[in-house]
Structure 1
Amino acid sequence: MNDLDTAMIRAHEMGDRAALIALYAQAAGGAQDLDAACFYLTHAYVFALEAGALEAKTLHARLVAHGREA
């Protein structure tokens, strides 16, 4: 398991939404293909919405840019 996976698991265990947003956004940036990137972006976006985080707007814009959200 790589460091990013380990950090994601720990953030889930701790309920650390800020870390989850950042880690999933980071995973999207390093994804091997667009589908994987959008999978991670969607998770980051949902966590941001749940947390009322400002990042939600940027994450949404990235999903729209990839044709994943209207």
Structure 2
Amino acid sequence: MPLSEPAVPSDPALDAALQSAHARSDKKMLIALYAAAAARRPEAAAFFLTHAYVYALESGAKEAAPLRARLVALGAEV
């Protein structure tokens, strides 16, 4: 079965910023960008928040607790 196009259109500026942050291994920026993506694309919020949360945990960032709370509120974390 061929893969279908994503249901949500891509945001080229966000995609470019994420690629740049990944290339630099800039976890602080990745946390911010993934959290922003969650706000801009609520239908994919759990996906983006999970990424932000993982980078926050990996880097010991203070954002980890509020990101987890948002995931819990979405039912994506217990």
**TM-score (normalizing by structure 1):** 0.93
SS where residue 23 of structure 1 aligns?
Answer: helix
Letter in 1 for 2:21: A
Q: What is the distance in 2 between the residues matched to 1:68 and 1:39?
A: 9
Letter in 1 for 2:54: V
Extract unaligned runs of 5+ from structure 2: 1-10
Structure 2 residue corresponding to 1:26, chosen from 28, 36, 41? 36
Runs of 4+ aligned residues of structure 1 deviating over 6 Å after TM superposition are none
Extract unaligned runs of 5+ from structure 1: none
Identity across matched positions, percent = 56
Question: Which residue does 1:44 correspond to in 2?
Answer: 52
Bigger relative contact order, structure 1 or 2 (CA pairs below 8 A, ≥6 apart): 1
How many residues align? The count is 68
Q: What is the distance in 1 between the residues matched to 2:42 and 2:61?
A: 27
Structure 2 residue corresponding to 1:6, chosen from 2, 16, 28? 16
**TM-score (normalizing by structure 2):** 0.84
